Structure 1
Amino acid sequence: MHRHRARSPLSSSPGLGHAVKAVLFLLLLAGCAAKPHPQLYHLGIPDPPLMQKKAGSPVLLLETSAIPRHLDRPQMVTRQGGFQLVVHEHHRWSAPLDRLMRESLALRMDARLPGFRVIPAELGPAYPPPALRLRLQIIDFSGDEKGEVRLSGMFSLEAPGKLPKEVPFDVRVFSTSIEPEALAASQSLALDGLAEQLMAEVRNLF
């Protein structure tokens, strides 16, 4: 007695099998296309200094000693209510946030402090030992559901022969929108405000 195995419709119709595979391939492509690509943000790229720095300009080294764990991630984070944080999966920083802050602050200050070469910690090995060391401790650098951006923390300046002191800062900027792009622009403005405060402290030392 012979048993006949049921044949698959796809095996009996090669054309139909190819059609099904093509449909599955198109669905896969559609799924990949539907997945949104993350938007990347930076904190502003200032113009280079108008005046050329002297080769022997003293170095001011910019460091960040701490950044909150909830901000130490690629995604943008906003505050909502009293205790809730919102992580924006598809809106990300173009580099680690603490590094972006150091580089952006150093560029701002270097353009407006003609007596110093201001560099982020990453470039320290390429320069002479610093005459000044500026350390930042970040407590908050985020926006909330009302569009208020807050940049707060402490900083200290270390100079030879001078006792370092910790100085608090709390810069607030109101964004025109709660959209991530507008909040990132307001965070850039908050960084401008912090740069002004830091430069004032440097000038007071000399």
Structure 2
Amino acid sequence: MKFLPCLSILGALTLLGCASTPPSTFYSLSSLPPAASQAAADTSDLAIGLGPVTFPVFLDRPQIVSRASGNRLTLNEFHRWGGTIQDDFLRVWSENLGQLLGTGQILIFPSEVRALPDLRIAADVLAFEGTPEGQALLKVRWTVLDGDLETVLIARESRYRRPLASPGDDEALIAALSAVLGDFSREVATVVSGLPRFQTAPAPADHADQDPPS
């Protein structure tokens, strides 16, 4: 019987600790606004396959990840992705490219749809995180292949940074990450619309006003 008061106090402290646990907050990326410029080339009938997109294991987790220093990461247990970072990245990337290129024919791979796209774009995301300097960073290696996956048309590595409106705020971090993904989408759209098959052919010269040959 002497231990009952101690056990009661311990139980009360445990309940108090559970009651004070803050609720989790969930985030998702946002796509470009509708006013985003469309590519100049006629790509309205272009079919694009997106994926696969890979992420480092340290980013592929529910928690929002920021880099506190060169080798130290910060994981916020109560600020999390609404789904997975990979699915959210692909969803917004596809929406951005659809808008920028003016096409609704975008397939996210792996897909159950048995269709052969005109192009396939894959990406290895090396960094998609907050930095110690209060920025959002996207570093990605990406490749554009033909629909048959036989020819590499473009292969490059790109890096984008955007400052956080409020350093240390995860909501500001997600907004800045959405912005760098928008920057990446614009570069991909520009590259795709500049491929030879999508460039607009110059109009034929009008010879009506030329002097007749002598």
Query: Which TM-score tier does this pair reach, normalised by the shorter chain?
Result: 0.7 to 0.9
What is the CA deviation profile of residues 63-120 of structure 1, one whole-angstrom value per residue up to 9, with x for unaligned ones?
1342111101110111112211111111111111111111110011112212451232
Q: Given that residues 31 and 182 in structure 2 are in contact (C-alpha distance below 8 angstroms), is that contact kept between their aligned partners in structure 1?
A: no
Larger relative contact order, structure 1 or 2 (CA cutoff 8 Å, min sep 6): 2
Write the distance in 1 (CA, Å) between the matches of 2:176 and 2:118: 32
Closer, same or farther: CA 39–120 of 1 in aligned 2, 3 Å: same
Q: Given that residues 103 and 119 in structure 1 are in contact (C-alpha distance below 8 angstroms), is that contact kept between their aligned partners in structure 2?
A: no
Q: Given that residues 64 and 98 in structure 1 are in contact (C-alpha distance below 8 angstroms), is that contact kept between their aligned partners in structure 2?
A: no
Q: Given that residues 136 and 176 in structure 2 are in contact (C-alpha distance below 8 angstroms), is that contact kept between their aligned partners in structure 1?
A: yes
Give the aligned length. 182
Please, which of 79, 84, 87 is the counterpart of residue 91 of structure 1?
A: 79
- SS of the aligned residue for 1:126 comes to coil
| Residue 44 (structure 1) aligned with residue 25 (structure 2) | no
Query: Which has a greater percent of helix?
Result: 1
TM-score computed with the length of structure 1 as normaliser: 0.76
Please, which of 82, 92, 102 is the counterpart of residue 114 of structure 1?
A: 102
| Residue 62 (structure 1) aligned with residue 53 (structure 2) | no
1:147 matched residue in structure 2:
134
CA radius of gyration, larger in: 1
**Deviation (angstroms), 1:39:** 0.8
Counterpart of 1:152, as a letter, is: K
Closer, same or farther: CA 121–163 of 1 in aligned 2, 3 Å: closer
| Residue 172 (structure 1) aligned with residue 161 (structure 2) | yes
2:21 matched residue in structure 1:
35
**Deviation (angstroms), 1:200:** 0.8
Residue ranges of structure 2 left out of the alignment (5+ in a row): 3-7, 36-43, 199-214
**Deviation (angstroms), 1:28:** 6.9
Among all aligned residue pairs of Structure 1 and Structure 2, give the percentage whose two residues are the same amino acid. 24
Q: Given that residues 27 and 82 in structure 2 are in contact (C-alpha distance below 8 angstroms), is that contact kept between their aligned partners in structure 1?
A: yes
| Residue 135 (structure 1) aligned with residue 116 (structure 2) | no
1:203 matched residue in structure 2:
193
Counterpart of 1:93, as a letter, is: W
- SS of the aligned residue for 2:193 comes to helix
Counterpart of 1:186, as a letter, is: A
Residue ranges of structure 1 left out of the alignment (5+ in a row): 1-7, 10-20, 50-55
2:184 matched residue in structure 1:
194
**Deviation (angstroms), 1:165:** 3.2
